[in-house]
Amino acid sequence: IVSWVFSSSDMFKATAVAEPEGFQVTAVPTKPIEGQKTGTSGLRKKVKVFQEPNYLANWIQALFNSLPEEDVKGTSLVLGGDGRYFNKEAAQIIMKIAAGNGVSRILVGREGILSTPAVSAIIRRRKAQGGFIMSASHNPGGPKNDWGIKYNYKSGQPAPESITDAIYGNTLSVSAINMADIPDIDLSSLGVTTFGSFTVEVIDPVPDYLELLESIFDFDLIKSLMNRPDFRFKFDAMHAVTGAYARPIFVDALGAPEDCIMNGIPKEDFGGGHPDPNLTYAEELVTEMFGPDAPDFGAASDGDGDRNMILGNHFFITPSDSVAMIAANAQQAIPYFKDGPKGLARSMPTSGALDRVAAKLSLPFFEVPTGWKFFGNLMDSGKLSICGEESFGTGSDHIREKDGIWAVLAWLSIVADKNRGKVAGDTLTSVADIAKEHWAKFGRNFFSRYDYEECESTGANKMVEHLRGIISSSKPGTTYGNYTLHLADDFMYTDPVDGSVATKQGIRFIFTDGSRIIFRLSGTGSAGATVRLYVEQYEPEVSKHGLDAQEALKPLIDLALSLSKLEHFTGRTKPTVIT
């Protein structure tokens, strides 16, 4: 270790703090920057905020300051992202600071590309100490839009609050950035570059992830479906990261035709779109799936590849149903689950369709707060295999993130399984048939979510206070129109593995017939407050399963709006997005 000062053209003086073999590390003076608290899914801000001097570097250094030395020195880290604007610059900054803090190896996706599930898979498979995901998920990209960074630790799971809180604390005191004086790394070609004790390996984003999927699903079974002349498949990568995976997986490995992929080239601005796979933003796919001559199966994934939407010909599978239907058919259709799933779980606002599957299969079942991280402990302790959220997230314990392409392969496996042994001329069992059969067996949980995005925070908070007032004075047995209150509360969760408690996770009104009204403020919005209203009604009666969800839920939605005085508090007469 040497102490060495050089004068730079900057106002600051930088000090060399260490001289590992092959390069030099300089302690670049910095000052704390306000507002670097990470939300549910890492630090997300506008690109121009991250472009401010040291903004990203401070956070990365604060992260290294937060980790125990053995998690940094001499370790391997994975680095990749969804291909959005600023990722390439960010990758260079992150690699220099990683080297400066003693990390010995970085595995980085070619062109900085790795989907979120792939990062999780690679951390686990290559036994890395953790990894960085450069993404703002489904938020738009480009110079005027969003950027984000998230740290996952060695199980492949997003860092727990104990780490993110420590990072935030360190952003408020960080005074020097340990920067290695290595040159920018060429991310365009595969290979290993070594600077003494520090190595960067540029990896193909696909093989680790594809091999994992091959170990989970019966690829021959899915191929047999893809080869049927009466089955047409479409996948919309929304100009985002799954564009890098779609062709090698769906076309090369599963035999789907080239033209099954829409918007398949990742772009820095996602083609100007909003890469969120839902009925509003995946408009191009939705138009095709609900148009004349619609394909049989349609799917889309978001910016970083962890979300999914599943469609049939003129048919939408709501995510709450999707996880329930995957769980009900997993043992039969997916080799990974051949001994049956260990347990099932959903986030609190997700409909109770999954609960009914768990009950029928006598499986352990868990209801956790919104946020994928809550599934991790259950998976690590062997209590959980399949889980999902209403927010278009579905996955399993093969990794520790939700997984868009996994969900598509799960659904393809189910459709293929239901059509096993059929010959030319037999009618194909469709996505819609599978859903209707499921409802006939389990009943249908009608579900919808109303989003009121970018509300003024004061009004939104007052509405939540108003609702808390109602629940504190509410009594079971009170009737609201045709509904009788079973319980009203602010959801609280105690983790059965480590005993940690999460409070104030959403206001619930649960009625005696199982119907629910839930209010939450989003934890992922980047401006103002986003109010989410979730409504759910259980319908056992098969003759009513064909109803439109909005129609079936109208009385509950009206009740929710009047109970909450939403219009009064937020000034909104209608939601910005309905899913």
Interface positions with ligand G6P (CB under 6 A): 40-41, 137, 347, 370-372, 389, 391, 393, 522-524, 532
Kindly determine how many residues on this chain lie close enough to bind Zn ion according to the rule CB under 5 A.
5
Which of helix, strand or coil describes residue 295? Answer: coil
The nearest distance, CB 130 to ligand G6P, in angstroms, is 18
The nearest distance, CB 485 to Zn ion, in angstroms, is 35
Please, which contacts does 149-153 make with residues 24 or more away whose CB atoms are closer than 8 Å?
149/42, 149/43, 149/56, 149/59, 149/60, 149/90, 150/38, 150/41, 150/42, 150/43, 151/42, 151/63, 152/119, 152/120, 152/123, 152/400, 152/401, 153/71, 153/123, 153/129
Considering the complex, state which of residue 306 and residue 536 has its C-beta at the smaller distance from Zn ion.
306
Per-residue x/- track, 112-151, Zn ion (CB under 5 A): -------------------------x--------------
Give yes or no for a contact between 110 and 205, defined as CB atoms under 8 angstroms apart. Answer: yes
The nearest distance, CB 42 to ligand G6P, in angstroms, is 10
Considering the complex, state which of residue 238 and residue 467 has its C-beta at the smaller distance from Zn ion.
238
Residue 137 is among the residues annotated as catalytic for this protein: yes
Considering the complex, state which of residue 341 and residue 395 has its C-beta at the smaller distance from Zn ion.
395
The nearest distance, CB 356 to ligand G6P, in angstroms, is 21
Please tell me whether residue 302 binds Zn ion under the rule CB under 5 A. Answer: yes
Please tell me whether residue 82 binds Zn ion under the rule CB under 5 A. Answer: no
What one-letter code names the amino acid at 512? T
**How many Å apart are CA 313 and CA 535, to the nearest integer?**
25
From the list Zn ion, ligand G6P, none, which binds 371 (C-beta under 5 to 8 Å, kind-based)? ligand G6P
Considering the complex, state which of residue 157 and residue 524 has its C-beta at the smaller distance from ligand G6P.
524
From the list Zn ion, ligand G6P, none, which binds 391 (C-beta under 5 to 8 Å, kind-based)? ligand G6P
Query: Which tokens sit at 109?
Result: 């996706």
Query: Which tokens sit at 464?
Result: 């939540």
Q: Give the one residue of 111, 276, 296, 306 binding Zn ion; rule: CB under 5 A.
A: 306
Choice among 120, 137, 396, 515 that is catalytic: 137
Closest residue to Zn ion using C-beta atoms: 137
The nearest distance, CB 389 to ligand G6P, in angstroms, is 4
Considering the complex, state which of residue 15 and residue 40 has its C-beta at the smaller distance from ligand G6P.
40
Burial call 309-334: b when 16+ CB within 10 Å, e when fewer: bbbbbebbbbbbbbbbbbbbbbeebb
Which of helix, strand or coil describes residue 404? Answer: helix
Query: Which tokens sit at 147?
Result: 């950027």
**How many Å apart are CA 325 and CA 341, to the nearest integer?**
13
Chain residues in the site for Zn ion (CB under 5 A): 137, 302, 304, 306-307
Q: What positions carry a catalytic annotation?
A: 137
